[in-house]
Structure 1
């Protein structure tokens, strides 16, 4: 369980990230004051995070918790995701627990 004064690990697109896991965080374990996003891995490598999305069923890499919402606009097909940059990927790998 995370405290409300949880230390910020890094910023993702300007939004404070307080937790990154290599697993799903169950709904009943989520804190009401945090925002949760799933991280999708590539089809070729399950250890290579590629996108951040509101919810991932297939190719789930992990979960990220933030103190503010991340702006994720749907593309022309209605898919809502953000591609992870190399720098962001390094931070995710560094702080995954």
Structure 2
């Protein structure tokens, strides 16, 4: 799936948009891609809420950028994030 064209000025999706039931990921991925692409404008990545979500997911902001940029779709990003969390839980049990 191709990425939507970049809108100017840049605006990430709304705070309440979820992807496959995962909150905040849509907005954070928009900002991560914009940060990586150099067009984030006045938005901040990672903002305090992004940092909180990333801490819960045990992902660095750099690792999330990589996941967001490489994902072919929102659904793939949500799946990749879920896989990461599942691997962490599995490692904690072992």
* TM-score of the pair, normalised by structure 2: 0.28
The answer to which structure has the higher strand fraction is 1
Structure with the larger RCO, 1 or 2 (CA within 8 Å, 6+ apart) = 1
